[in-house]
Structure 1
Amino acid sequence: MDSTISGLPEGWEVRRSNTKNLPYYFHPETKDSRWEPPAGTDSERLKQYMAEHHSSKSASGAFSGGAAGNKIRCAHLLVKHKDSRRPASWRESKITRTKEEAGQLINNYHDLIKKHEQGDPEGRSLSELATTESDCSSARKGGDLGFFGQGDMQKEFEDAAFHLEKGEISGVVSTASGLHLIERLD
C-alpha cells in the first residue's frame, strides 16, 4: 500500500480483522498491530482513503471482495508461535513455542488429515483438529472462517486459499499470525 495515498506512516498498512471484521493497522516488518492509527498518520488522508477503500458502500473496495461470486469459504487450523503477531490464544494465554516447534505440530496435524482422507481410522479431519488444536477463535466453528473476498485476509493466507479447489487442503502456510492449514469449503 502506498502510504502517500493512505496517509499512514511508511511501512504501515490497513488490514481487516477476521474475528471482528473491522479494519486495523499493521506493520509487517515489526509485526506491530493496533486498532488506532499509528503516530505520524495524516488523519485527513486516512479518512479519505478509508471512505474510498474500506466503507461498506464501496463495492470495489479492497475488503469488499467485489462481486459476491468472487468470495470463497474456508476453514483453517492455526498454530501460533512466540514470534506470531499476537502470541496468545483461547488455548494458551502466552504462547512460548518456537516457530520450529509450531512447524512440527502443524506437520503432525497435516499427517493426521492425510490419514483421514485415505480412510485411516487414526486420521482426523481438519475440522475435528481445528476444534481442539487451533489457536484461532474460529476453533469453536471447526475452523470455519465463513466467506471472504480478495483483500480480506493476510496476503499469504489469501494467495494460498484462492488457489485451492473446493475440498482441497493446503500445505503449511506461514503468515504474521502463525502457521496455517487451509481447507477450501466453497
Structure 2
Amino acid sequence: MSAESGLPEGWEVRRSNTKNLPYYFHPATKDSRWEPPSGTDPDKLKDYMARHHSSKGVAPAAPQDGKIRCAHLLVKHRDSRRPASWREPRITRSREEARELINQYLQEISAYEQDSNAGKSLPELATAESDCSSARKGGDLGFFGHGDMQKEFEEAAFKLEKGQVSPVVETASGLHLIQRYGRHSP
C-alpha cells in the first residue's frame, strides 16, 4: 500500500487528458479505471486527492473558444485497442458483430428522432449499452477541442450540427455514434 495515497502497491493517480478527471492506473499491468481499486484506504485516498487533485483545473461547465460538447455511444470489439469495458471484462465480439450492434442502435436513435415514443435517444442507449465509462453520464464527454480526441472521432464530431447524430465512426477504440449537444440535444 502506498503510504501517501492509500492505493494498493503499484497503483497511481493520473489525470485524463480528454475529461480532465483523475483516474487510477497500474503501470505494470496497464490496468486503468475510474473507481479506486480494491484494497484502497478510503481515508488516505480522500486526503491525498484533496491535496493533489483538487478541483482547480477541472474542465469548466461552459465552453471555451473552439470547443464543442458531445455525447457518444461506443461499441468495442476484440480488435479494439482495449477490448474491455465496465460492462464486460473481456470483449470477444468481432468487428462485424460490433457493426451490426451499433447499426441497431443507430436505427433505434433514428426512430426516436422521428417520434420520441419510438426507439431510444443516444443518451438513453449510451447509459445502458456503451462500452465507455462515459455511459454513467449518458455518454456525455464534456467539452473538447481540436487535438483532444482521436482524429477520426474529432473530425466527425466537429462536422456535426447541434443536435445531429453521426453515422458510425470507427477509431482504434471501436465503433462510435456521436451526438453534438445543442438545442435539440438532451
Would you say same fold, with TM above 0.5?
A: yes
* TM-aligned CA distance change 1:20 to 1:93, over 3 Å: farther
% same residue: 65
- Scaled by the length of structure 2, the TM-score of the pair is 0.65
Which structure 1 residue ranges, 5 or more long, are not aligned? 1-15, 23-32, 36-66
Is residue 2:110 matched to residue 1:114? Answer: yes
Contact 1:76 1:145 (C-alpha < 8 Å) held by counterparts: yes
Point out 4+ residue stretches in structure 1 off by more than 4 angstroms. Answer: 19-22
Question: Which residue, out of 81, 84, 94, partners 2:77?
Answer: 81
C-alpha separation between the residues in 2 aligned to 1:134 and 1:99? Answer: 15
C-alpha separation between the residues in 1 aligned to 2:145 and 2:74? Answer: 20
RMSD: 2.2
Where do 1:13-162 residues align within 5 Å? 17-19=17-19, 68-119=64-115, 121-162=117-158
Which structure 2 residue ranges, 5 or more long, are not aligned? 1-15, 23-29, 33-62
- Scaled by the length of structure 1, the TM-score of the pair is 0.65
Residue 42 of structure 1 corresponds to which residue in structure 2?
none
Secondary structure at the residue paired with 1:69? coil
* TM-aligned CA distance change 1:108 to 1:141, over 3 Å: same
Residue 69 of structure 1, CA deviation: 1.9
> Once the two structures are superposed, what CA deviation does each residue of 1:12-34 show, in whole Å capped at 9, x if it has no partner?
xxxx7535669xxxxxxxxxx99
C-alpha separation between the residues in 1 aligned to 2:76 and 2:136? Answer: 17
Instruction: Count the aligned residue pairs.
Output: 130
Residue 173 of structure 2 corresponds to which residue in structure 1?
177
Contact 2:18 2:144 (C-alpha < 8 Å) held by counterparts: no
1:179 maps to a residue whose letter is L
